[in-house]
Amino acid sequence: MALDYRIKLQPIRHRKTSVEGRSFNEEMESDRGRALNSAAVRRLQQKTQVFPLETNAAVRSRLTHSLEVMQVGRYISKRILAKLEERGELSDTGLDELGEGFVSAVEIACLLHDVGNPPFGHLGEEVISQWLQAEVIPDFEQRFSQQHDVAMLAKDLSQFEGNAQGLRILHNLQGLNLTYSQLAALFKYTRMAGEDKPADSYRQKKPGFYYAEQAMYQQVSECLQIDKGCRFPLAYIMEAADDISYCLADLADAVDKGILTIKELHDLLHDQWFVVAKNLPVEDGKFLPNILSKAMDAYQDEQLDQDHEYLLALRTRFVNGLVEQAADHYVGHHDAVFNGTYDGSLIEGDDAFSLAAKTLKKVAVNRVFCTPEVENLELKGVAVIRGLLAIYQPLLKLSFTQFWQLASNPNQSLKGFPIETRLLHKLSSKHKRTYVQEVQKLITTQQIEGDVQMLEFYHRVRLLVDYISGMTDHFALAEYQDLA
């Protein structure tokens, strides 16, 4: 039976749009406009890719990285459509009519995939998680030890995950009202943060969404017929585009910053390849060496900008090879990918393409991420994030009544708590509005008092983490310097 993308690619939103009756392709243009004009995307220009607080505009930020991922995602999508057409499956799947929206949805998912990352990169995620586990969870478990959901919520709160935070930003905090298909393309992982991690599931190795977004996740899954624990097909393409882009981009930035010379990079890649690819058949074992040889030829033939020519030749051939591999994997496992049961990445495996990507990543880890310049800036970021969390922590010490009185009356002061009053005033209005809306629902549904207080505290912690994790590198540093 043919796979029908009309089930998956639908112009349905959480809230009705002001212009009704548009096709899926037309609604994807609306999603593109919402994404490109969002504050979440603008903030990416001052968030770390590898080098925190970088002043050299040529070195990648999260925004420039996301634009590169966007292009690779478009490339993979186009190749998938071409391969399906060659197989005579484009019409049967409905993609002959939906192809334009299919490509656009992948592009925008690629653009938005990093919006949930905190300041100072992945180390920022770890610092926030460690702070939650040390400073918040013990108090949370003690306060609400009698409530039946305390263990699940404690586990949910104890992990900061950029992918889950990104969905929270787009849906709850900024309310972009993206189509369900666009949101589904962003669910890189399929496990709620409070659920136990399965031992052998690639799709659930990290949290994909928080308890606070559980209802949204269920609505999207039901509408698009995504079974529990399964991915949306376009999410595989977004993930592959990200993996292809960053493993080369980090090395190119290291060259731009003088951390590696081209000749050093060339030799490192060559040597590492023969470590990871030693068991490949002879012909497959020539894949990366051939690319490196052609890149060095381009380097030697160029007179003015040799570094650029080497990196361009390397990137072009590397990306072309891995894009073709990703598209072949998608089409070759089409049933499993469409149904979301394919438990892996489109570019992971033991073939030459996957091992080439592994080679580049390994060199980046061994020779770029661990340099004194990167590590010193990361430690600076650690101090900033820890310091900000500690500064705003008094807001978590207030009782339910005290904090609700302060948050629900933002222009008033809380008698006896001048510091907490001022700290709350500094939080984002959008974030405070989301908190108030969620807690108001709890109060009006007349739940058990203990449950209301536990869930209020859960949303209060989310409010604090939303504010600090949403900062850019430069804003976080300036905020810390102002308040510390």
Q: Could you say which DSSP state residue 405 is in? A: H
| Contact between 24 and 101 (Cβ < 8 Å) | yes
Annotated catalytic residues are 65, 113-114, 242, 422
How much of the chain is in helix, strand and coil states, percent to nearest 5? 70, 0, 30
Q: Could you say which DSSP state residue 133 is in? A: I
Element (H, E) at 207: strand 207-209
Q: Could you say which DSSP state residue 226 is in? A: P
**CA–CA separation, 475 and 481 (whole Å):** 10
| Contact between 356 and 287 (Cβ < 8 Å) | yes
| Contact between 211 and 83 (Cβ < 8 Å) | no
**CA–CA separation, 178 and 11 (whole Å):** 9
DSSP letters of 296-358?
HHHHHH-SS-HHHHHHHHHHHHHHHHHHHHHHHHHHHTHHHHHHT---S-TT-SSSHHHHHHH
| CA nearest neighbour of 220 among 205, 234, 236 | 234
**CA–CA separation, 222 and 218 (whole Å):** 6
Angle between helices 233-256 and 306-332 in degrees, nearest 10 = 170
| Contact between 178 and 34 (Cβ < 8 Å) | yes
| CA nearest neighbour of 235 among 78, 344, 116 | 344
| CA nearest neighbour of 119 among 45, 209, 219, 28 | 45
| Contact between 116 and 163 (Cβ < 8 Å) | yes
Within a 13 Å sphere around the CA of 365, how many CA atoms are in the beta-carbon half?
A: 7
Q: Could you say which DSSP state residue 136 is in? A: I
